[in-house]
Amino acid sequence: MKEFPKNFLWGSSTSGPQIEGRIAGDDKGDNTWDYWFKQEPARFHAQIGPDQTSSFYSHFEDDLDLLVATGHTAFRTSIQWSRLIPSGDGAVNSKALAFYRSLFQGIKARGIELLVNLYHFDLPMTLEQKGGWSCYETVLAYERYAMICFEAFGDLVDRWITFNEPIVAVECGFFYQYHYPARIDAKAGVQVAYYTQLASSLAVRACHNYLPGKKIGIILNLSPVYPRSQHPADQKAARIAELFQAKSFLDPSVKGSYPQELVTLIAEHNLLPAYQSKDLDVIKDNTVDFLGVNYYHPLRVAAPKYQINPESPFFPDCYYDHYDLPGCKMNPYRGWEIYEPGIYDIAKQIQKDYDNIEWILTENGMGVEEEESFKVDGVIQDDYRIDFIKGHLVELHRAIQEGANCKGYLLWTFIDCWSWLNAYKNRYGLIALDLSDQSRHIKKSGYWFKNLSQLNGFEE
């Protein structure tokens, strides 16, 4: 029996833009995803956009009962900035205020710990049109938005989160074109990364001022980085990949400063962002109370095969090539390696290099295509998902036994949800969503998860 510590949290994560959907008259403003889908629907799998998603906005009361039915003791969602403040920096939408209050009250009424994230890749379009995250004004608008949330919902939310996976928005928005504005512009990308960090630190400060005693953290996708070999060139590639991918937000968020080697590298490419020293003090003085860690797959790298073309635009991966480990276990639907010990390695690194700060595994999960084909007697038999979760929990349990300060496990996700450019291609939920009529059906993993939560562990 793998038993977890008393009061360990069991639950799942989702985000407003991926689950809520819109209805006529809800007064939500457009965010970058709403806009992008209208402009370029062909980018989105099966041309399914963010307008309906999983209709949680209308179904949430019933859905909260499903949280109970699947054993949740914790639940994480996000507020959509573009719903609460449609113009980004103007008036508050009273319907959004009422919706989020009812939703949060419903969660608390069911005895579930509530984690609320302020930003899940979803910038209001009006702010994007004014220059987005490369403008200081967006930082100030975000700080105002955060304060409005703390005032409006501070009595209901147990833990706050400033951003989800901020490095992903930088990479996908300014290097690899999977998020709007889908540009190739390293200078803007670095500025966006820095302003996002500053915004996060300002929200930490505001939360500590307005809601003393409440915890606030940031969620990072901390893929552990493994070099192809012990060769010094492969080792160097791994070190630099880790600087860009993990430490760029991990160090300022937890330690209050950037790693010198990262700053030097960025300066060598003439990419240092515009900054004021008073803002560096904000980052220094306002570190997070806890970390959210999203873990899906490791990052394996090798020394680059080719030298940098000095005339090419800068990409962080000019310092490392992605490396596929021969014979590794894969999730073929998502194309991600499955490597359970990665979670143990992350835990050990947090313990050793980040003062064993409190953390929660805020996302881990397996997206699978055409799950209907696994249906027997009306229930999707997703044993692969149960095995995936168990495999990771064994490693998490091992780390906790050795002193890792992990307080909970949140699966991605609760009900199948909309997934950015992949839309509804890969399903991650404990509960299946039938897109034809929006009906919900608990999968085998949903029943198993309830048992896991009730036993506070599982038989191996």
Contacts with ligand BGP, residue ranges (CB under 6 A) = 15, 18, 164-165, 168, 221, 294, 334, 363, 367, 412, 419-420, 422, 426
Residue 151: which of 87, 84, 90 has the closest Cα?
84
Question: Which of 122/234 has CB closer to ligand BGP?
Answer: 122
> φ, ψ for residue 369 (rounded to 5)?
-90, 150
CB of 250 to ligand BGP, least distance (A): 16
CB of 428 to ligand BGP, least distance (A): 6
CB of 45 to ligand BGP, least distance (A): 10
**In sequence order, which residues have a C-beta less than 8 Å from that of residue 339 and are 6 or more positions away?**
297, 298, 328, 329
Could you tell me how many residues make up the chain? Answer: 460
Residue 352: which of 283, 254, 237, 252 has the closest Cα?
254
Neighbours of 273 (CB within 10 A): 17
> Going along 81-224, which residue ranges are E strands?
113-117, 159-164, 215-221
**In sequence order, which residues have a C-beta less than 8 Å from that of residue 447 and are 6 or more positions away?**
70
Query: Is 3 known to be catalytic?
Result: no
Query: Is 459 known to be catalytic?
Result: no
Catalytic residue, chosen from 165, 171, 371, 395, is: 165
**What would you measure as the largest C-alpha separation in the chain, in angstroms?**
63
Question: Which of 241/266 has CB closer to ligand BGP?
Answer: 241
**In sequence order, which residues have a C-beta less than 8 Å from that of residue 261 and are 6 or more positions away?**
239, 243
Question: Which of 45/255 has CB closer to ligand BGP?
Answer: 45
Is the sign of the CA dihedral 86, 92, 95, 96 positive or negative? Answer: positive
CB of 109 to ligand BGP, least distance (A): 26
Residue 116: which of 457, 362, 342 has the closest Cα?
362
Question: Which of 314/409 has CB closer to ligand BGP?
Answer: 409
Catalytic residue, chosen from 242, 363, 371, 395, is: 363
Q: Which residue is nearest to ligand BGP (CB)?
A: 419
Question: Which of 167/186 has CB closer to ligand BGP?
Answer: 167
Whether 215 contacts 290, CB under 8 Å: yes
Question: Which of 77/286 has CB closer to ligand BGP?
Answer: 77
CB of 231 to ligand BGP, least distance (A): 31
Residue 412: which of 423, 395, 426 has the closest Cα?
426
**In sequence order, which residues have a C-beta less than 8 Å from that of residue 41 and are 6 or more positions away?**
47, 49
Give the catalytic positions in this structure.
Answer: 165, 363
